[in-house]
Amino acid sequence: MTQKINDLRDRMIVALDVPTIWDAYRIVSQLGDAASFYKIGYALAFAGGLQLTQQLVAEGKKVFLDLKLHDIGNTVTEGVASLSNLGVDLLTVHAYPQTMRGAVEGRDGADLKLLAVTALTSYDDGDLRDAGYGLAVRDLVRLRAEQARTAGIDGIVCSAAETEIVRDVIGSDMLIVTPGIRPAGSAAGDQKRTLTPGEAIRAGVDHLVVGRPIIRAADPRAAAAAIMDEIAAAS
């Protein structure tokens, strides 16, 4: 198991992609000790999720605040500085060099790890072409991982399918965090670059992000426990 993570349960991050904090509370209480790490995205953050963040931290849960910040450097610096005292563990920014440098400046010694989102896992090469990029997914991910390392970012968000390329660039100290995780037989939905939990762990990722396969399961606790079993078997 990766040296950076002490508790095996912390390798699974549950995405609380629900519309209200009451829905979020229901899932957190259903999961109980089956999950130790939660991701709050901007839909929930805009609906009171920043307060929920503090409550989760107070209850001993780890929190990944996924706001995917992107703006001129100065605005990113000020945004990250405002978020630095929330007590969250992880925060996302888009992997543009100015944005990443601004984020590192805004973090200014706070105990907050910054993650750079390289190429969204719902994108394939054609989607990148549509967005005006001239690089294939793997090449863009490699370039952005290099730029993230240079900027002083702590970890990379990519598909687990790119783990080898990214690890080669960033070495073992930085984190690899991978959404687009789908247990065998579960619906991909809008995700295009997916791997199973076991495949992702064997590839060498640090944290998996899992949303719908848990939060939309008939029994979220059983779904989370099954994913944890797969993680444990592959670790």
C-beta of 10: minimal distance to ligand OMP in Å? 16
- 62 a catalytic residue: no
Task: Please give the residues from 45 up to 84 whose contact with ligand OMP meets the rule CB under 6 A.
Answer: 66
Instruction: Let me know how many helices (H) and strands (E) the chain has, helices first.
Output: 11, 8
182 is in an annotated binding site: yes
- 89 a catalytic residue: no
C-beta of 121: minimal distance to ligand OMP in Å? 4
Pairwise CA distance, residues 44 & 55, whole Å: 14
Burial degree of 172 (CB within 10 A; 0-12, 13-18, 19+):
exposed
11 is in an annotated binding site: no
Pairwise CA distance, residues 108 & 117, whole Å: 20
Question: What percentage of the chain's residues is helix, strand, coil (to nearest 5)?
Answer: 50, 15, 35
* Residue closest to ligand OMP when measured from CB atoms: 211
**Should residue 209 be labelled a site residue for ligand OMP when binding is judged by CB under 6 A?**
yes
**Should residue 27 be labelled a site residue for ligand OMP when binding is judged by CB under 6 A?**
no
Q: Which one among 36, 77, 92, 196 touches ligand OMP, defined by CB under 6 A?
A: 92
- Considering all CA atoms of the chain, what is the largest pairwise distance in Å, rounded to the nearest integer? 46
**Should residue 31 be labelled a site residue for ligand OMP when binding is judged by CB under 6 A?**
no
Cβ-based neighbour number of residue 89 at 10 Å = 16
* Interface contacts to ligand OMP, rule CB under 6 A: 15, 17, 41, 66, 92, 117, 120-121, 157, 179-180, 189, 191, 209-213
Annotated binding site: 17, 39, 66-75, 121, 182, 191, 211-212
**Residues known to be catalytic:** 66, 68, 71
